[in-house]
Amino acid sequence: MSSTLNVITFNVRGLGHPIKRKRVLTFLKKKKIDIAFLQETHLSNEEHKKLKRDWVGQVYFSSFTSNKRGTALLIHKKLPFIFKEQYTDCQGRHILIRGMLHGQELTLLNVHVPNEDSPKFMMDMITLFNQYNTDFGIIARDFNCCMDSNLDKSSATVSNPNASMALRLASMDVGLVDVWREFNPTRKDYNFYSTRHKSYSQLDLFFFPQDHLSSIISYDIGPILISDHSPVYLRLSLPQQINPTKQWRFNASLLTNLEACNNIRKWLDQYRQENAAYQLKKERTENTIKCIRNTAGQLKYDTQSIKNPSQKIPLKRISIDFWKEYPYPLFLMTKRSS
């Protein structure tokens, strides 16, 4: 395999018929796809296993019934992906897998979002990805909502506004970006046509860590042919060893844990008290909070106990350890003059 990775996300609207199943697999083969994110497969567990044929070396899936939902991840047999673990649900809504590719951990999350205003589902999926992803990962979804109704819909109707807002805020918190909008900030293009509403929408998207945007070669929307959704293509330049990011980012999932929130509030109160005599600008305070770990403290946490966002399991340990007492006010220190 070359160092270029060809990825596709495609809402296929059912693969139960053998002819359509073969047609889709042949289509993906001709496009030389390495990783395929498929939504609405409408397959049972046994039927999903039938996707492992010809060019497909690995299949991971989440099933519901033979006529509803279903998500699947197909990986080319020549791609040296080493599987480590997976996380799935029983509703056929999402499948997350983690593994190694060229010596680097890779996280893949495939989601089919309910066609309803469901902000909690959006938050749960972003939180799930953030808990498992260590550095390099991809989210592909049929979101059933638009990031920006003015740009992502041909009509003026606003659908699922709360889910859209939750998606924007949650992705921003963990450093994920909508690849299409990142490279096409004002362009209008669509990948779904609703015969019921006689309108076009941009529903199928790739989300990608902002730190790795430089690895993206191209992002394209194909024509609507096999399904009422267009296939969306992402092409990546994948080095043999992806350098991990040096940037530290706060684990937003901690905000779902009461004990963690109480500890953070305690630390912030201490910060305000120790700097009460100084007029702190808002920007400095925000930057101080962002660089807590690298500047004056360490926030230690264990995400293993909260990997299922539907379960409110207390964290095993949360502690804020300050290095030492500084002779100057906390976070306002400069190097001492000799």
CATH 3.60.10.10 fits 4-237, yes or no: yes
Provide the pLDDT confidence category of residue 273 given band limits of 50, 70 and 90.
Answer: confident
C-alpha–C-alpha distance, residues 231 and 31, integer Å: 11
With a pLDDT cut of 70, the percent of the chain lying above it is 68
Pick the residue with more confidence: 110 or 255? 110
C-alpha–C-alpha distance, residues 50 and 21, integer Å: 9
pLDDT at 38 over 90: yes
What is the pTM for the complete model shown?
0.69
pLDDT for the residue numbered 203: 67
pLDDT at 142 over 70: no
Average pLDDT for residues 18-29, to the nearest whole number? 95
36-50, 244-258, 322-336: least confident range:
322-336
pLDDT for the residue numbered 259: 78
pLDDT at 245 over 70: no
pLDDT at 177 over 70: yes
pLDDT at 213 over 80: yes
Distance of alpha carbon 195 from the chain centroid: 29
3-state secondary structure at position 274: helix
pLDDT at 86 over 80: yes
List where CATH 3.60.10.10 sits in the chain: 4-237
Nearest to 43 by CA among 13, 23, 22: 13
Q: How many residues does the chain have?
A: 338
Query: With contact defined as beta carbons under 8 Å apart, do 204 and 227 qualify?
Result: no
pLDDT for the residue numbered 190: 66
Q: What is the DSSP letter of 202?
A: -
Q: What is the DSSP letter of 117?
A: -
Parallel/antiparallel/unpaired status of strands 192-194 and 94-101: unpaired
C-alpha–C-alpha distance, residues 17 and 30, integer Å: 20
